[in-house]
Structure 1
Amino acid sequence: MSVAHTVVTLLAAAMAGYSGVVVLTRAEWITKALTDYRVPSSWWPWLGAAKTAGAVGLLVGLFVPVVGVAAGTGLVLYFAGAVVTVARARWYAHIPFPLVYAAPVVAAMTLGALA
């Protein structure tokens, strides 16, 4: 395991964890966006829990790589779904936001595969 892999994984976990907690605490700015994207409010706890679990999985993956791969794959799929959701809502200017959260996850998985 390289230093770069560890640092990028910690960054990815922090970003995904933050994103999950923001949804779980129903911060005003995120609830407005989710409402604008027409995501049912009954889904919000599940979405926040998925991101938070993915963040924990990335951290566990530093010690149990198969867990990190599973968590990273789940987060990449989650954020890909977020891109589709934003596009379906026709908020094209917001498409980069889920990609910003997905990028460190992809980088961590890539660095993990190279290690």
Structure 2
Amino acid sequence: METIMFIAYAVVAGLLALVLAASATFSLQRNPAITASMAKVGVPDSWMPRLAALKAAGAIGLIAGLWLSPLGIAAAIGVTLYFIGAVITHLRAKDYELAPAAVLTLVAAAALVLRVTSAS
């Protein structure tokens, strides 16, 4: 059963890491869609590099977590908290276009559960 959970973690973490890496890249490149979405919810432009760094760190941690279980768990916790913060930010701004953040919160939580389960 642990092998199945590990394979599931590898798939979920790999896909989530790709999304995080792409989002970090688009944030650093100041993609108009990203900057507009951030501005809409009141995130200062000066935060973009920091948020991109957090996403990149999450992506690296999820992949490294394939070999280092505690790092994968820590990364999944961090990414889950990041996207919970994103959902809260959308709600506080009364911006209800939060489906991407909500879905990524669930995917990150799934990665966490899968990594914890496969590590036992």
- How does the TM-score come out when normalised to structure 2? 0.88
Q: Which runs of 4+ in 1 moved over 4 A?
A: none
Partner of 1:38: 42
Partner of 2:62: 58
Partner of 2:104: 101
Instruction: Return the alpha-carbon distance in structure 2 between the equivalents of residues 63 and 73 of structure 1.
Output: 17
2:42 is paired with a residue whose SS is coil
Partner of 1:75: 79
Instruction: Return the alpha-carbon distance in structure 1 between the equivalents of residues 103 and 24 of structure 2.
Output: 14
Q: How many residues align?
A: 114
RMSD over aligned Cα, in angstroms?
1.2
Instruction: Return the alpha-carbon distance in structure 1 between the equivalents of residues 9 and 38 of structure 2.
Output: 32
Question: Where do 5+ consecutive residues of structure 2 fail to align?
Answer: none
Partner of 1:112: 115
1:39 is paired with a residue whose SS is coil
